[in-house]
A and B are shown apart, each in its own frame.
Chain A
Amino acid sequence: MERIPILRMGEILLVTVQVEMHDQLALTLQEDLAERISATAARGVLIDISALEIVDSFIGRMIANISSLSRIMDAQTVLVGMQPAVAITLVELGLNLPGVATALNVDRGMKLLLDSAQRQ
């Protein structure tokens, strides 16, 4: 079955969305993530969307779901790598992803997660 790989880096899980998302893939990713957060006691989830040329309401809903799921499993989600044209489009679309933290790239996202883990 086709799935999106989840990479572990210490207390952080990295998800790089590189393929075109569809319903089944999004559901599988949520299930895989829940399992991995629980198995690794991860404190944070980085979702790298730098390869995505568009983000529509379907992908927006998936990101929001992952973020809520992570939150109730005591992990924080940071969305990284959004292309400028995608960001402009998202604002117009009206998708503001409440409660989802963002960072410019993987390095900055990582720093954000590690800093907030340290504060706790």
Chain B
Amino acid sequence: MNIKDQGTRPIVTEQDIVLARQACRKLAQDCGLRLVAQTKLVTAVSELARNMLVYGGGGDLHWEILEDGLRKGIRIIFHDEGPGIADLQLAMTDGWTSGNGLGLGLTGAKRLVNEFDIETAPGQGTRISITQWS
């Protein structure tokens, strides 16, 4: 598997979430993802970028364009150095929120993409990687 292109953008304001959605839509289109796969990816980006801003105190979005044989993909890694998630199992339950959300961001994002990985620990921040293939 090759990384054809990559980049990083900061997520520290609401406006950054809007810009990240637009940038990821463009990348997904360039990758040849179909409209529904694009929409799912961009929706997941919106959820995870907002979590990073609201709970992680902001962080970085790193993107990679992947090539694996004939298929192309886009991987997006969200990294923050916030408080981390103490009970991951609980956080990955539909409808659970520590704030006043719907508790759908994490579980929903996982369902919307082909691959989803999360690494987090209290005091260690949170790193989530998602991948969508064409």
Known: A22-B14, A23-B14, A85-B35. A54 touches B104 (CB 8 A): no
Query: C-beta contact mask, A13-30 vs B, less than 8 Å → 1, else 0?
Result: 000000010110000000
Partner of B108, one of A20, A22, A92: A92
Which of chain A's residues have a CB closer than 8 A to the CB of B107? 94
Chain A residues near B (Cβ < 8 Å): 20, 22-23, 53-58, 60-61, 85-86, 88-89, 92-95
Interface presence of B47 (CB below 8 A): yes
Interface presence of B43 (CB below 8 A): yes
Which of chain A's residues have a CB closer than 8 A to the CB of B111? 92-94
Give me 6 A-to-B residue pairs in the complex whose CB atoms sit less than 8 angstroms apart, sorted by A's number: A54-B43, A55-B43, A57-B105, A60-B104, A92-B108, A92-B112
Known: A20-B18, A94-B94, A95-B102. A57 touches B39 (CB 8 A): no
Bound: A89/B15 CA distance, A: 23
Partner of B36, one of A20, A22, A88, A93: A88
Range, interface on chain B: 20 to 34
Cβ A58 vs Cβ B46 within 8 A: yes
Cβ B102 vs Cβ A89 within 8 A: no
Chain B residues near A (Cβ < 8 Å): 14-15, 17-18, 21, 25, 35-36, 38-40, 42-43, 46-47, 50, 94, 101-102, 104-105, 107-108, 111-112
Cβ A89 vs Cβ B104 within 8 A: no
Known: A89-B36, A93-B43. A57 touches B18 (CB 8 A): no
Bound: A57/B54 CA distance, A: 14
Main SS of chain B's interface residues?
Answer: helix
Cβ B39 vs Cβ A89 within 8 A: yes
Bound: A23/B14 CA distance, A: 8
**Closest 8 A-B residue pairs measured CB to CB?**
A93-B108, A85-B39, A56-B46, A22-B14, A20-B18, A57-B104, A54-B43, A57-B102
Identify 17 new A-B residue pairs, CB closer than 8 A, beyond the known A22-B14, A93-B111, A94-B104: A22-B15, A22-B17, A23-B14, A53-B39, A54-B21, A54-B42, A57-B104, A61-B102, A85-B36, A85-B38, A89-B39, A92-B40, A93-B104, A93-B112, A94-B94, A95-B104, A95-B108
